[in-house]
Amino acid sequence: MTRRKRTKGHLQGVHMLSRVANSIYWMTRYIERAENLARIVEVNRHLNLDFPGDVDRQWEPLVWITGDNKLFEERYGDFTEENVTRFLMADPEYPNSILSCLQAARENARSIREIIPSEMWEQINTLYLYMKKMVDGKLAAESPYESYQNIIMKCHLFNGLMESTMSHSEGWHFGKLGQYIERADKISRVLDIKYFFLLPSPTFVGSPFDNIQWAALLKSVSAFEMYRKRWRRISHKHVAEFLILDREFPRAIYYCLIAAGQSLHAIAGTPQGQFANEPERILGRLRSDLDYKKIDEIVDGGLHEFLDHIQIQLNDLSNATFEEFFAIRPVDPHKNAQRVASSQQQSN
């Protein structure tokens, strides 16, 4: 039998099933995705509340940042608040709605419930049941704010349980890897929301009104207070710098890449700064790209284009992770090609 070489002794409990590793990776990604989506919808509500009364409310940018605008237009048409929130929160047929994400997280968790602590499973299960009740209108009236906060807090609770009840062994590292890849991707999209969010006129750029929006954006990733300690005054450049290049704030892209790298290297036992497989190479290159980056370079080259580049790299990283660790390696490539293809159901 073939077994790839790994540095011995770095992690206990080897021989994790590929399918199980894949499920843990996607379980945490979907939870992170649901949480971030709740944050994005909530911040947009705030942005709109802060808009001058005579300007149209904007919900279209939210759909644009998901990249699923075509699907939205087919199914809903108008970018009204009601349509957009239903699409993003409660649409069971849209695979990236909060409801669908929580369902996918739960199904992944269900398929590995003998692996994860029962507290984690119960937390995912009750979170999904809560969401389902909300969507079915069976919850006692809650304000939208309470609902989003509840989702976010329940996701936090899940992450806390994972931190403190699950052994930090191989499976845990796959979970963290998924979580940080997803988080980096979503931060890049939250930042990008300003690119899509139309200001009433160019004169608004740099105005107090513009700054209010940047502050709301920071709040959506729970970054406002930490940002204040670092920079005090709001400026779009500093916000971008904080959310992209900060190495200490856990919702900064750079931080996420470092954390993802630590888990990735823990899995294979490769020393930091080297690579032994394709995911390590892609992540290492992306990280080192940010090691010496200055925010002026990023802004001058176009923030939107830069964020787009990050998203593509993260996508490549996820695909390479699948190929390296989860793809069921066929003994006879012709006979088993079908089985491999059918196992990669989960997508970005």
Partner 1 sequence: MLNLKDYDVGGFYDEVFDKDGVVRPGARLLVDRINELPQGELERRQKAVELALLNMGITFTVYGDTSGTERIFPFDLFPRIVEAHDWAHIESGLKQRIQALNLFIDDIYQDQRIVNDNVVPRELIETCRGVRDVCRGLNPPRKIWCHICGTDLVRDDSGTWLVLEDNLRCPSGVSYVLENRQVMKRVFPRIFEESRVRPVNSYPLRLLENLSYLAPEDVQDPKIVILSPGSYNSAYFEHSYLAQQMGIELVEGRDLVVVDGRVAMRTTTGFQRVDVIYRRIDDDFLDPTTFRSDSMLGVPGLIDVYREGRVALANAPGTGVADDKVIYAYVPKMISYYLKEDPILPNVETYVCYDDAQRDHVLKNLDKLVVKAANESGGYGMLVGPHSTKEDQEKFAVLIKENPRNYIAQPTISLSRVPSIIDDRFEGRHVDLRPYVLYGETIEVLPGGLTRVALKKGSLVVNSSQGGGSKDTWVLDNDDAPQADQGTSTGGAHA
Q: Which is nearer to partner 1, 285 or 339 (CB)?
A: 339
Structure tokens at 29: 């990604």
With contacts defined by CB under 8 A, name the span among 65-73, 206-214, 257-265, 325-333 that binds partner 1.
Answer: 325-333
What is the x/- site pattern for partner 1, positions 162-201, by CB under 8 A?
Answer: --------x-------------------------------
Q: How far apart are CA 166 and CA 150, in angstroms?
A: 23
Structure tokens at 18: 């590929």
Residues 261-290 that bind partner 1 (CB under 8 A): 267
Does 334 sit near partner 1 (CB under 8 A)? no
Q: How far apart are CA 66 and CA 274, in angstroms?
A: 34
Single out the residue of 7, 14, 133, 288 in contact with partner 1 (rule: CB under 8 A). 14
Cβ neighbours, 10 Å, residue 79: 19
Provide the 3-class DSSP secondary structure of residue 208. Answer: helix
Backbone angles phi, psi at 342, to 5 degrees: -75, -10
Q: How far apart are CA 92 and CA 102, in angstroms?
A: 10
Residues 106-135 that bind partner 1 (CB under 8 A): 107, 110-111, 113-114, 118, 121-122, 125-126, 129
CB of 248 vs partner 1, minimal distance in Å: 31
Compute how many residues bind partner 1; rule: CB under 8 A. 32
Q: Which is nearer to partner 1, 68 or 122 (CB)?
A: 122
CB of 192 vs partner 1, minimal distance in Å: 33
Q: How far apart are CA 312 and CA 318, in angstroms?
A: 10
- Using CB atoms within 10 Å of the CB of residue 300, give its burial: 0 to 12 exposed, 13 to 18 middle, 19+ buried: exposed
The angle at the Cα of 323, spanning 322 to 324, to the nearest 5 degrees, equals 95
Provide the 3-class DSSP secondary structure of residue 86. Answer: helix
Binding site for partner 1 (CB under 8 A): 1-4, 6, 14-19, 21, 107, 110-111, 113-114, 118, 121-122, 125-126, 129, 170, 267, 325-326, 328-329, 331, 339, 343
